[in-house]
Structure 1
Amino acid sequence: MSDTDLCFTPATELVSLVRRRKVSPLEITRAVLARIERVNPRLNAYCTVAAEQALGDARRATAAPKRGARLGALHGVPVSIKDLTPTKGIRTTWGSKIYEHHVPDEDGLIVERLRAAGAIVLGKTNTPEFGAGANTFNAVFGPTRNPWDPALTCGGSTGGGAVALATGLGPLAQGSDLGGSLRIPAAFCGVVGFRTTPGLVPVHPTPLAFEPWPVQGPMARTVADTALMLSVIAGADPRAPISYAVDTGTFTAAVRAPRLRGLRVAWGGGLGVTPVDDEVLAICHRAMATFGRLGARISDAHPDFGGIHDIVEVSRGLTMVARHEDKLPQWRAVMQDNLVKNIDYGLGLRASDIGRAERLRTELWHRVRAFFEEHDLIVTPTAAVPPFRIEDVYPKEINGKPMRHYIEWALLTYAFTVVGLPAISVPCGFTRAGLPVGLQIAGGWRAETSVLRAAAAFEAAAPWAHLRPPEPA
C-alpha cells in the first residue's frame, strides 16, 4: 500500500500487519512523520513533534519480535498526546505562555500505559490554554484549523488530536474532556471521541485527584480503534483514588458484537437546554432512522435537565479556581481572557452557591437515573452548531438566540459530564457546506459497553472511515 494509505490504516489493522510482519513499526512511523511534515504546517494539529524519540522507539519496536519479546496490544501503533498531558522528554506547555518551555521528566499515567502497550508517541497536539474552551488556539502556538475548511474552528479542547486523526497524522489520539473536549472536536472533524465514566481511565498526575469532572480518554477514526485504545488505558491505579477495576476485554468484545436490536433508544434533540442549528438537528434526527432499521425501539424523550446552567457555571468556576487561582497574581495579563473570567467568577462564589449547585446536581442525577430505567441509550447532536469561524471564541447565537458565554452553547455535551455518564461522538453526515456533523450516543451508569456496541452498529450501517477531508493546499 502507499504511504498515504498506510497513514489512514486503522490501528486494529496496523496491529495485525505488524504481528504478521507485513509492515514494521519503523515503516509506519516514518510514513506518518513524513505526512506530519507535509500537512501539519497548514493546519497546526501538532504543536511539538518528537520525531527522533518516535523513530528510536519505532526501531526498538521493529527489533522486538526478533528478540522474542512479548508484543503489547498497540505494538508499533503511532499515537498523539494532547499538550495537557505530561510526556517525558517532550515539551508540555498546557497551551500557556507560563509553561512555554516546560519539559517534564516523567510521563503521565495514561502515556505510561500507552507506551507499555507498545504505542509510538509521535508528539503533542494543540489545545486552548489549560484546555479551557471549545476552539483550539493559544498564545504559544496559535490556532488549529479545521481540515474540512481551514477558515473554521476544529473545536476543542482536543482540537489538535481530532485534526491529526482526520488528516492521517496518526490513527489514535489521547485527549481529555471536561465539558465536551473529546466529543466536540470529534464532531467538527469527522472522527470518534469517547468520554467515559470518571475513574474508568485513571488520571495522574493531577492537582485534584478526587475531581470527577475532567476525564482522559481515546479518540480515533473508527469505533473499533477507540475500543482498542480504551482497553489499554482503562483500569484501576492506586495513584488515582477514584479509579476502579474493570475487565478491559469487554470493550473490544463489544465492538466485535455490535447491536441495536431491541434497545430502547431515546431521541433527545436539544435536551430542553439549548437551541440546535436547524440543519445539524435535521441531519442527526435522520440518523435515528438507521437506529430504527437496526431494530432499536425509538422514542422522543429526555430527562429534565433543569438546573444544569447553574450546575455547570458553579462547578466550572470552582474547578478553575482550584486549578489556576495561584497563577493570577503573576500571570493574569498573559492568560486567556475567558480563563481569567472563569477564575474570577469562581472566586466570587459563596459557600451557599456551591452547596446549592451540588444539591441541584444530585437531584438531576436521580432524574437521569430514573430515565435510564426506562431507556438504554439517549441520542443527541454532539454540538449545537456546525464548525464556526476560527476567529470566534464561541458561536454568538444559535437560530437567532444569543449565547451568553463560551459554555452555554456546549450544554449538549456538558449534560452528560455533570452526571458522570459515558457518551461517544460519532460522525453522522455533512452539512450542505460539506462540514462534518457528530451524533452523541450516551448510556446509563458505567454503560461503556452498551455505548460502544451501539456506536459500532451505527458505524457498520453508515460507515465513515473512508471519508477524508481534502488534502491541504
Structure 2
Amino acid sequence: MVESGELVGLSAKEQARLTRSGELTAVELLDAHLAEVSRRNGEINAVVALDEELAHEHARRVDGLAPERRGALHGVPTAVKDFGHVTGFPNTLGHRHFAGSISDHDDLHIARMREAGAVFYGKTNIPELAAGSHSANEVYGVTRNPHDPSRSAGGSSGGAAAALAARFTAIADGSDMGGSLRNPAAFCGVVGMRPTPGVVPNADSPNVFDPLATAGPMARTIDDTALLLSVMNGETRDVPCAPELDRARLRELRERDLAGVRIAYAADLGGCVVVEPAVRAVLDEAARALEAAGAIVEIGCPDLSGADEAFRTLRAAAFNAGWGALLEAEPENFNDFVAGNIREGEKVSGPDVMRAYGEVTRLTRAAARYFADTDVVLAPVTQMLPFPVEWDWPREVAGTRMTDYLDWMRAAWLFTPLGVPALSLPAGYAGRLPVGAQLLAGPRQDVELLELAKAIETLLAVPAAASASHAAS
C-alpha cells in the first residue's frame, strides 16, 4: 500500500489506476491531498473556497460507481480555477462584486472532468477578473510561489500552478488569453497548455467565436497534461469547435526521436521582446541539449507583425463589453490597471475590431505556412524570473521600461493571435526559481506538440515540481 505522503506525488494516471482497480478509494486519495493542503496552503494560498464536506460527498459517490463507469480521472482530487462554474462552489472571479456567489452548474470542461471521475474540493486563486499574471485579489488575497513564497506564482491560473507544484493536486484546469496557462506554469515549474482554439469548446464564454481565450489543461508532467486534455476535448453541437483529437493517442503518447526534428529557436521572438539574462541562459542550454540530441535547431520565429495591435484591440474590446457596465457602477471595486484596460475598450470602434480580426486571420494563415517547414518553435514563456510577491506588475524587464501591466507578458501573448497550440514546459532553474520553455506547433497539431514535448521533457530531465512542496519548509 502506498503511504499517504507518497500518494500526492503520484501522477494523475497512477492515482486513477489505483482507484479504478480498487487498491485505493477516492476518499483515501482525497484525504491524502487534503492533508497536504492543510500542511502548506496557509503559506501559499493556492486553494480557496475549500469545502471538505462537499468533497467527501463527491468522493463517496465516485467510490460507489460500478467498475465499467470508472473514467480516466477516476478519484483524482483537484480544485477548479475560480473563473469557472463548478456546482456547489463559489465563483468569485477574484472580484468583490461576485464574492459569495455559488454556482448551480458545471462549465462544459468541468462537467467532462466530473464525468471522467475527478473529485473537486475547492477553487484555485486568480487575479481580479483573471486579468494579468499575478494572482492577487481583494477577495482571497495573494498566491505565493511554492519554490519561494516571497515570489509571485504568476497568473491568471496562478493558484492552479502553485497547487500543482505544492502537490495539492496532480491535474488542474486553467484558461489562457494572453498566457494565463503558460505564465504561471513557467513560474511554478509545471506544465500548462493552451490548445488550438476550439479543441476545448468555448461553450461557456459570452463570445463563443473569441479567437483569443480558451480553457486548457495543467499538470506536473506532459503525460498528465495530455490525459486531462483528452477529457476536456470533444465536439459539441451548439458552438464552433475543432474536430475531436485522437483520445487514445493522447492517453498513450507515442515515443518520439528528436533526431531530425526541425526546431526554430525564437530567443527574443525575432527582436520583439527583451528577456532577462537568467531566463535566456536556461533556454540557451535547452537549445544546445536539443541540438546535441540530433534536432535541427535554427534561429527563427513566425511572423508576429500586427500581433500586438490585434491582441490589444480585441482584448480591450472584450474587457469593455464584459465589465464596462460593472466598472461604471462600482469603480471602487476595481484595481487601477484593470479599470484602465476596460476603459481602453471604450476607444475601440467597430472597424478597429474588424481590422483586428483581419490581422488574426492573416497571422493564422501565415503560421500554418510557417509550420509546414518547422516542427516546433522554442521560445521564452516569461521574459523574467518570478518577481516579488508585493509587486502588482513588473515596471522593468532587463533594464527596459514596461509601458503597462501587459507589456512584460508579451512573450506569451504575441503568439496568441496565431491560433496555434502552445505550452510551457519546465526547462531548468535559475537558482531555486523555475524557468519555462514555450513550445509551439502548427494549428491543430496538439497531439504532435505533446509528443514532442514529452521527448524534450525526457531529454531535459528537469527535477520534478514536487520538490517545491518542501522548498520553504
What TM-score bracket applies, with the shorter chain setting the length? over 0.9
Superposed CA deviations along residues 84-123 of structure 1, whole A, max 9, x for unmatched, are 0001111111111010010011111111100100111121
Contact 1:309 1:408 (8 Å CA) reproduced:
no
Q: Is it true that 1:213 corresponds to 2:217 in the alignment?
A: no
Supply the distance in 1 between the matched residues of 2:435 and 2:295 (Cα, whole angstroms): 22
Residues 297 and 27 of structure 1: is their aligned pair in 2 closer, same or farther, counting only changes over 3 Å?
same
Aligned letter for 1:11? Answer: A
TM-score, normalised to structure 2, is: 0.95
1:46-57 map, 5 Å:
46-57=47-58
Structure 1: distance between partners of 2:134 and 2:446: 27
Superposed counterparts of 1:160-239, under 5 Å: 160-239=159-238
In structure 2, relative to structure 1, the CA distance for the partners of 1:69 and 1:359 (3 Å cut) is closer
Amino acid at match of 2:266: G
Q: CA RMSD in A?
A: 1.6
Which whole-Å deviations, capped at 9, do the CAs of 1:359-394 have from their partners, x for residues lacking one? 333333343333212211100011110001112222
In structure 1, what is the Cα distance between the partners aligned to 2:257 and 2:109? 29
Kept in 2, the 8 Å contact 1:378–1:441? The answer is yes
Secondary structure, counterpart of 2:403 in structure 1: coil
Question: What does 1:186-335 align with in structure 2 at a 5 Å threshold?
Answer: 186-253=185-252, 255-271=253-269, 272-335=271-334
Matches within 5 A, 1:64-463: 64=65, 67-253=66-252, 255-271=253-269, 272-432=271-431, 434-463=432-461
What residue identity is the alignment partner of 2:204? P
Instruction: Report if aligned partners of 1:144, 1:153 keep a CA contact under 8 Å in 2.
Output: yes
Query: 1:408-437, CA deviations, whole angstroms, 9 ceiling, x for partnerless residues?
Result: 1111111221111100101011113x1000
Aligned-partner Cα distance in 1 for 2:189–2:16: 23
Aligned length: 469
Q: What displacement does 1:216 show?
A: 0.4
CA–CA separation in structure 2 for the residues paired with 1:369 and 1:108: 31
> In the aligned structure 2, how far is the partner of 1:205 from the partner of 1:350?
25
Per the alignment, residue 15 of structure 1 pairs with 16
Stretch of structure 1 that moved more, 462-471 or 273-282: 462-471
Flag the 1:63–1:351 CA change in 2: closer, same or farther, 3 A.
Answer: closer
CA deviation digits over 1:314-370, x for unaligned, max 9? 111011112112212212221122211111001112334334333333333343333
Q: Secondary structure at the match of 1:207?
A: coil
Larger deviation, residues 263-272 vs 155-164 = 263-272
The question of whether the paired residues in 1 share the 8 Å contact of 2:147 and 2:472 is answered with no
2:276/2:383 contact within 8 Å kept: yes
Give the counterpart letter for 1:333 in structure 2.
E
Deviates more, 1:168-177 or 1:354-363: 354-363
Distance of 2:386 and 2:138 partners within structure 1: 21
> What letter is aligned with 1:102?
S
Contact kept? 1:237, 1:243, Cα under 8 Å: no
Q: What is the aligned-residue identity percentage?
A: 36
Report the alpha carbon displacement of residue 180 of structure 1 after superposing the two structures with TM: 0.4
The structure-2 alpha-carbon separation of the partners of 1:259 and 1:336, relative to structure 1 and needing over 3 Å to count, comes to: farther
Deviation at 1:309, TM superposition (A): 2.1
Q: Output one character per residue of 1:48-80: Cα deviation in whole Å (capped at 9) or x when no partner.
A: 11211211221222233xx44421111111122
Partners of 2:82 and 2:233 in 1: CA distance: 20
Query: Deviations for 1:275-334, whole angstroms, at most 9, x for unmatched residues?
Result: 011110111111012222333211111123122221221111011112112212212221
Q: 2:20·2:67 contact (CA, 8 Å) conserved in 1?
A: no
Q: Does the Cα contact within 8 Å between 2:148 and 2:471 map onto a contact in 1?
A: no
Tell me: CA distance 1:89–1:229, structure 2 relative to 1, closer, same or farther (3 Å).
same
- Cα drift, residue 472 of structure 1: 4.5
Instruction: Report the 3-state secondary structure (helix = DSSP H, G, I; strand = E; otherwise coil) of the residue aligned with 1:258.
Output: coil
Structure 1 unmatched runs, 5+: none
CA distance change for structure 1 residues 98 and 210 in 2, over 3 Å: closer, same or farther? same
Unaligned runs of 5+ in 2: none
TM-score (norm. length: structure 1): 0.95
Q: What is aligned with 1:464?
A: 462
